[in-house]
Amino acid sequence: MTDIKQLSQLVIDDFQATDKVILQQLKSEVALVDQLGHYIVAAGGKRLRPLLVLMVASALDYKGDQHHKTAAIIEFIHTATLLHDDVVDESDRRRGHETANALFGNAASVLVGDFLYSRAFQMMVDLDKMQIMRILANTTNKIAEGEVLQLMNCNDPDVSESSYFQVIHNKTAILFAAACQLGAIISDRDDLAAPMYQFGLHLGMAFQLMDDALDYIANSDKLGKNVGDDLAEGKATLPLIHAKLHADLQGQALIKECIENGGIDHLQQILHLIKQSDSIEYTLNKARQEIKAAKEYLTEMPNNQFSQALSQLADLAVERDN
């Protein structure tokens, strides 16, 4: 099966140019900024968000080089959110490596995250396009709201499905949406900005739904983080919300206790309740519905190898194991 790395080969030159921009923009006179910034960026990941910028621009036959800086901006914003996320979640592992906060400390991680945010906005100014600044300013604000809402929902056993979807809309999906929208805007195809936004939004929703399912079913080594991390942090994601709704009174009480107190002492019992209620399949079906909705918006794009790759990327969002 084609994977994300194979699809990224279609825009490999653009990918390399984007990486060059990222490395140039990471430079700082402060040694710790350089060191920590390079550590988190070098840790890799799928680079899916910058890939979306490059793929949409290529599908629209963009000939300039602003998509490289735009893709780098998106990656900087995403990386900043990861640095802050890991501090809030007290995570010690991401992408199979120690988290930056585990290695460098919480204070350094928060401050370098701030550096990446501010560097991203410096780069937006260089693009000299108010429309791009407006989109990304609104996007980063919504991401922050999503993070705060998720924090408020932590250890709350009464989190509803609608509240969960509001969190993933703001925390994850909106940056996917902005990446795709900006790919159209820098290509001077404002007529496709709205459908590309919707494509990215539904793709991002599916991606997070799949992440939350994998947290309970994936192989820890493939996942690159500890299985059950969401449970350990007292996060009520969709598999747990659905399982609680369909469990008997004893099961509901256990799930409530685990959400309120965090930890993984009862992980095996929780996994049994999730399996018993078909909560993973329920979550995956929601992800598939999002992908179906996303792909409908691709019909407005030119039909070429890049738009076809976007369709394949959408399929991969729900067919992956990490």
- Domains present along the chain, CATH in parentheses: 4-317 (1.10.600.10)
Residue-wise pLDDT for 54-99, tens only, equals 999 999 999 999 999 999 999 999 999 988 888 887 777 665 677 8
Q: Are 175 and 48 in contact (CB under 8 A)?
A: no
* Residue 224, pLDDT score: 56
The predicted structure's pLDDT at residue 90: 73
Over residues 257-301, the pLDDT tens digits come to 999 999 899 999 999 999 999 999 999 999 999 999 999 999 999
* Token reading at 98: 């120690």
Whether the full predicted model's pTM is greater than 0.95, yes or no, is no
Q: What angle do CA 166, 148, 111 make, to 5 degrees?
A: 135
pLDDT computed for residue 220 by the predictor: 60
Closest Cα partner for 160 from 238, 232, 229?
A: 238
pLDDT of residue 186: 96
pLDDT of residue 93: 67
Position 82 scores a pLDDT of 87
Q: Would you say 311 and 298 are in contact if contact means Cβ atoms under 8 Å apart?
A: yes
| Residue ranges in the chain whose pLDDT is less than 70 | 1, 44-45, 93-96, 219-226, 322
Q: Is the Cβ–Cβ distance between 210 and 284 less than 8 Å?
A: yes
Angle between helices 279-298 and 193-217 (to 10 degrees): 160
pLDDT of the residue at 221 = 56
